[in-house]
Chain A
Amino acid sequence: MSAQPSGATAFLARFDGLRDHLPGGRLPWVAKLRADAAEAFRAAGLPGRRVEAWRYTDLAPIAQAGFTEALTFVDEAPALPPMRAPYRAVFVDGRFAESLSVMPAGYRCGSLAAGLDGAEFLLGTLAQPLPLVALNTMLFEDGLLLDLPAGQDGGVLELLSIASHTGRPIAFHPRHLIRLGAGASLTLIETSLGPAEAAYLHNPVYEIGIGADAKLSHVRIQREGRSGFQLATVLAAVQAGGVYDNFTLNAGARLVRNEIHTALLGPKAACHMNGAQLAGDGQHADTTTFLDHAAPDCASRQTYKTVLAGKSRGVFQGKILVRQAAQRTDGYQMNQALLLSDDAEIDAKPQLEIYADDVKCSHGATVGALDEAQLFYLRARGIPAEQARAMLVQAFLVEAIEGVTDPIAQAALAEATDGWWEREAA
């Protein structure tokens, strides 16, 4: 028996072989970050189900897949969906594709690999001792580097991640660094796509720094191919009066983990984290959130909705930590699941840990099936059964989705959710 933690071997071997060739290999501070991350990953390995935070999500299929690196650039440009916003950063297999991208001018926004020298302000600063973050730090080849100066409105930017079909099970670990200066604002709409039949691993990590009174609206639409894996970790830190809004739709992938850590570090910072998970036969969707209330007078709102069809599994874990300093915290968390089949399973674990005494914090959870009376009411009006079910699924999602107000994001979301049930039922 090997002493190596499970699933780590191939990734570590890759790092050992490539360390000098990875971006930033000649920058001592990057090399050190990577070496430290490799040490941490060597010790931890892919998290197993005995780790409390991974009780409900089994990474064994990833450990067994033996993912390899996306060594060569794909020559052929993959088919891209039409642009929705004026600007779009395109990543193919985790690498920035400049020729496919339309980048905003007026602020620093581009490839991390090309801009590593000077990314010290963010890279690794928000990282937490998490195995998947270590894996990403060890092996990232590129990512988005976005630095919006104080007071500037960055408008709407699309981030598109595409997995190409190389015929081999490839893994890529993009690192996205996003900083908003004081009073800056930005809407970032991200879509991840991949071919249905390709097994691949997309392991993105986001380090997001939001300055005082700045606002980032971050919409993530996960539509990976049905054989793909996505393990995403968002690390966000919000200064006084700043706002971080995250909406994540999990609609694709064989297995997805959407893990978000948000720290509210200054007074009157706010955070809305909403999401919807639509999982059909053979899919596993996990949303895990950590909200760290570290300053007084902050507010957080979370509404997550999970819809499960066929033989699928949904997970929601949400922890709210209210530190002693975080007086007058206003925290709210709701997670609801709708089970459309007897073979679907949901695990929900809300957790409150409160050290301040003047706090308003509530959480709730519901699990249910479609309401037969509602279904009959629709059908009695002539609406066919599957269409009626689809309407009720949409209605169930409304509360989570209505917080997304940007019209471009709304259209992207509608495209990703419309017809979902009809396709699953077919």
Chain B
Amino acid sequence: MLKIEGLTAEIEGKQILKGIDLEVPTGEIHAIMGPNGSGKSTLSYVLSGREGYEITGGSATFNGVDLLSMEPEERAASGLFLAFQYPVELPGVGNANFLRTALNAIRKSKGEPEIDAMQFLKLARTKLKTLQMADDMLKRNVNVGFSGGEKKRNEVLQMALLEPSLAILDETDSGLDIDALKIVADGVNAMRGPGFSALVITHYQRLLDYIVPDRVHVLIGGRIVKSGGKELALELEAEGYAKVAA
């Protein structure tokens, strides 16, 4: 279970997170919605360990372990995965090499044997197929020249390969066409189960038709101002943040 209590954080002296309280029990999928600039991505970066954020108070634990004191790679090894709102381009790094290196790094930290290039290709091809991605995505440099939608699918491919126990999906639906949205949602739903939790950040209730959340939270001005069931998303869509949060 992910447990966040009174989490406050600032960047360059500017306070962004102003006391976040949030619990995602194991096996559940929660959605976070909120206006632009409210701190959703900041929360996802702070949880995954990006540098540059000053944590000024509160705590975040994952299965009882303090997340905030770990290096980013240790958090990933312990099962945390962030699907980036803006996936990063890595010119000169082949996608297959990147994916296999990441997979082996995580396997190694779990004491599992590394998998070789042949085994990896086989595994990657089956995942590509379920995500309806072309095989040549593996040959290209990571995210370089990928369309917006291809980048998002590449994030989901990484999630499918690394099999995290907690996934934070930061606007993974933005930029996806209708078919891709379903494919990506299927990818997330396929992982659903007692050992998997997710925090799905989105602006659109439509995604939540496909990935049905157990809870919906509204984040405004660095705080969770309201939480509810999946119907809260519909309410937000109909009435806007101002009214719902009031």
Does A155 reach chain B (CB closer than 8 Å)?
no
Q: Do the beta carbons of A382 and B162 come within 8 Å of each other?
A: yes
For A86, the chain B residues whose CB sits under 8 A away are none
Complexed CA–CA distance, A180 and B50 (Å): 56
Q: Do the beta carbons of A380 and B72 come within 8 Å of each other?
A: yes
Q: Do the beta carbons of A395 and B101 come within 8 Å of each other?
A: no
Does A381 reach chain B (CB closer than 8 Å)?
yes
Q: How large is the interface on A (under 10, 10 to 19, 20 to 34, 35 or more residues)?
A: 20 to 34
Interface string of B62-85 (1 = CB under 8 A from A): 000000000111011100011010
Complexed CA–CA distance, A388 and B101 (Å): 10
Q: Do the beta carbons of B71 and A382 come within 8 Å of each other?
A: no
Q: Do the beta carbons of A381 and B77 come within 8 Å of each other?
A: no
Complexed CA–CA distance, A112 and B77 (Å): 59
For A397, the chain B residues whose CB sits under 8 A away are 92
Residue of B at shortest CB range from A377?
A: B88
Q: A381-B105, A382-B105, A383-B105 are in contact. Are A372 and B90 (CB under 8 A)?
A: no
Interface string of B92-134 (1 = CB under 8 A from A): 1100001001100110010000000000000000000000000
Q: How far is the CB of A381 from chain B (nearest CB, A)?
A: 4
Q: Do the beta carbons of B90 and A381 come within 8 Å of each other?
A: no
For B165, the chain A residues whose CB sits under 8 A away are none
Q: Do the beta carbons of B76 and A382 come within 8 Å of each other?
A: yes
Does A373 reach chain B (CB closer than 8 Å)?
yes
Does A376 reach chain B (CB closer than 8 Å)?
yes
For A422, the chain B residues whose CB sits under 8 A away are none
Does B175 reach chain A (CB closer than 8 Å)?
no
Q: Do the beta carbons of A384 and B73 come within 8 Å of each other?
A: yes
Does B213 reach chain A (CB closer than 8 Å)?
no
Does B158 reach chain A (CB closer than 8 Å)?
yes
Interface string of A363-397 (1 = CB under 8 A from B): 00000000011101111111111011001101111
Q: A376-B72, A394-B92, A396-B92 are in contact. Are A383 and B101 (CB under 8 A)?
A: yes
Q: How far is the CB of B146 from chain A (nearest CB, A)?
A: 14
Q: Do the beta carbons of A376 and B51 come within 8 Å of each other?
A: yes
Complexed CA–CA distance, A395 and B143 (Å): 14
Complexed CA–CA distance, A391 and B84 (Å): 20
Q: A377-B84, A379-B72 are in contact. Are A384 and B90 (CB under 8 A)?
A: no
Does B39 reach chain A (CB closer than 8 Å)?
no
Complexed CA–CA distance, A385 and B50 (Å): 12
Q: Which of A374, A382, A385 contacts B90 (CB 8 A)?
A: A374
Does B172 reach chain A (CB closer than 8 Å)?
no
For A373, the chain B residues whose CB sits under 8 A away are 88
Q: Do the beta carbons of B92 and A381 come within 8 Å of each other?
A: no
Q: Do the beta carbons of B73 and A391 come within 8 Å of each other?
A: no
For A379, the chain B residues whose CB sits under 8 A away are 49, 71-73, 76
Does B193 reach chain A (CB closer than 8 Å)?
no
Q: Do the beta carbons of A387 and B101 come within 8 Å of each other?
A: yes
Complexed CA–CA distance, A381 and B81 (Å): 7
For A380, the chain B residues whose CB sits under 8 A away are 48-50, 72-73, 75-76, 81-82, 84
For B109, the chain A residues whose CB sits under 8 A away are 382
Q: Do the beta carbons of A398 and B102 come within 8 Å of each other?
A: no
Q: How far is the CB of A303 from chain B (nearest CB, A)?
A: 13
Q: Do the beta carbons of A395 and B90 come within 8 Å of each other?
A: yes
Does B91 reach chain A (CB closer than 8 Å)?
yes
Interface string of A387-411 (1 = CB under 8 A from B): 1100110111111000000000000
Q: How far is the CB of A274 from chain B (nearest CB, A)?
A: 15
For B105, the chain A residues whose CB sits under 8 A away are 381-384, 387
Q: How far is the CB of B76 from chain A (nearest CB, A)?
A: 4
Complexed CA–CA distance, A65 and B179 (Å): 71
Q: Do the beta carbons of B50 and A391 come within 8 Å of each other?
A: no
Q: How far is the CB of A404 from chain B (nearest CB, A)?
A: 15
Q: How far is the CB of B82 from chain A (nearest CB, A)?
A: 5
Complexed CA–CA distance, A396 and B90 (Å): 10
For A385, the chain B residues whose CB sits under 8 A away are 71, 73
Q: Which of B50, B88, B158 contacts A374 (CB 8 A)?
A: B88
For A399, the chain B residues whose CB sits under 8 A away are 92
Q: Do the beta carbons of A382 and B77 come within 8 Å of each other?
A: yes
Residue of B at shortest CB range from A391?
A: B93
For B77, the chain A residues whose CB sits under 8 A away are 382
* Pairs of residues from A and B, 7 with the lowest C-beta to C-beta distance, nearest first: A395-B92, A382-B76, A381-B102, A398-B92, A377-B88, A379-B72, A382-B106
A sample of 17 more A-B contacts (CB under 8 A), given A377-B88, A395-B91, is: A373-B88, A374-B90, A376-B49, A378-B90, A378-B102, A379-B72, A379-B73, A380-B75, A381-B76, A381-B106, A382-B73, A382-B106, A382-B109, A382-B162, A385-B71, A391-B101, A395-B92
Residues of B at under 8 Å CB distance from A? 48-52, 71-73, 75-77, 81-82, 84, 87-88, 90-93, 98, 101-102, 105-106, 109, 158, 162
Q: Could you list 14 examples of A-B contacts with CB < 8 Å?
A: A374-B90, A376-B49, A376-B72, A377-B88, A379-B49, A380-B48, A381-B76, A382-B102, A382-B109, A385-B73, A391-B98, A395-B92, A396-B92, A397-B92
